[in-house]
Amino acid sequence: MKLKLQITLLTVLAVFMSCSEDSATDEFNQANQNATVKLITNLSVVSAQDASENQSVTINYNGNNQVSNITDGVETSILVYDNDNLTNVTGEGETLNVEELYESPYDAFETGEVLQYDSNMNPVSIRFLEEEFDFVANTMSVVEYFAEIEYDATPNPFFYTLEAAGIIDVLDNVDLNFSMDVQAPEIVQARLLLPTNNIKKITYKDEDLTPIYQIVANYVYDAQNYPSTGTVTSTDLEDDSVSVYTTTFTYME
């Protein structure tokens, strides 16, 4: 798993079902009134099964508290600004992605179509497609899946870090009432799928709505309701295999 922050943020399926006139910042503030600004400086993930899966991602900031670079110790992404506006991200790596944090085998938060939001504008029901190999037909086929998401009543811990990287400003400029043709679809997708609260559970279902995979995150929160540590348990409901990961968040002091 590589946790890298790129300007594209999430890759896309250019479809959406719901529009909001509020900006990403408006929705976050409405859901998390008087939230404390906290910036992530390190995110570590330790596997209970396989030490080779362990990851540590460091986020560095410049003198203006803007994200300057992100590194996993092997690859580094450098963020470039012009007049405080994010203009480019150099380097290679994957996106900082909720499902990668949770070691999910699926990509609902990359290719999903939001079917339903909760009152805090968190996506709670997502339809997404996965390309899989059909051994009977000996060809690739597209399979429909669904994801149901539950949240703790706490702020999305990545929000202010994304803001410090210039991503939130980009998302705030997305007008969901405009045609997809006039805006970068990956930015629109990121805007639609950005949660305001912290995810605690994801249940994946097949096309018949049968649960097939589940991720449950149990966090220890600090005084400002930000996660300090978490235990993430992933269960394959088809073969009952279980994987456990410990996540540690470090914030700027």
pLDDT in tens, 53-95: 888 889 999 999 999 999 888 888 888 888 888 888 887 654 4
3-state helix, strand, coil in the chain (%, to 5): 15, 40, 40
pLDDT value of position 185: 63
Q: Report whether 234 contacts 242 (CB < 8 A).
A: yes
pLDDT value of position 130: 85
The whole-angstrom separation of Cα 214 and Cα 59 is 29
Neighbours of 50 (CB within 10 A): 8
pLDDT exceeds 50 at position 228: yes
In sequence order, which residues have a C-beta less than 8 Å from that of residue 150 and are 6 or more positions away? 124, 199, 200, 201, 202
- Cα-Cα-Cα-Cα dihedral of 99, 102, 105, 111, to 10°? -10
What is the percent of the chain where pLDDT is above 70? 82
The whole-angstrom separation of Cα 55 and Cα 100 is 11
Under DSSP, is residue 142 helix (H, G, I), strand (E, B) or coil? strand
Residue found by looking up tokens 């570590």 in the block = 44
Phi/psi for 162 (5° steps) reads -65, -35
With 0-12 / 13-18 / 19 or more C-beta atoms within 10 angstroms meaning exposed / middle / buried, residue 178 is exposed
H/E stretch holding 56 reads strand 55-61
Q: What is the mean pLDDT of residues 171-184?
A: 55
Which amino acid appears at position 193 of this protein? Answer: L
**Alpha carbon of residue 190 to chain centroid:** 9
In sequence order, which residues have a C-beta less than 8 Å from that of residue 168 and are 6 or more positions away? 24, 25, 159, 162
Q: What is the pTM of this model?
A: 0.84
- Which pair of tokens denotes residue 240? 């009952």
The order of strands in the sheet holding 40-47 is: 85-90, 76-82, 67-71, 55-61, 40-47, 242-251, 227-236, 211-221, 197-205, 139-155, 123-134, 113-117
pLDDT exceeds 80 at position 17: no
Q: Report whether 104 contacts 219 (CB < 8 A).
A: no
The whole-angstrom separation of Cα 59 and Cα 56 is 10
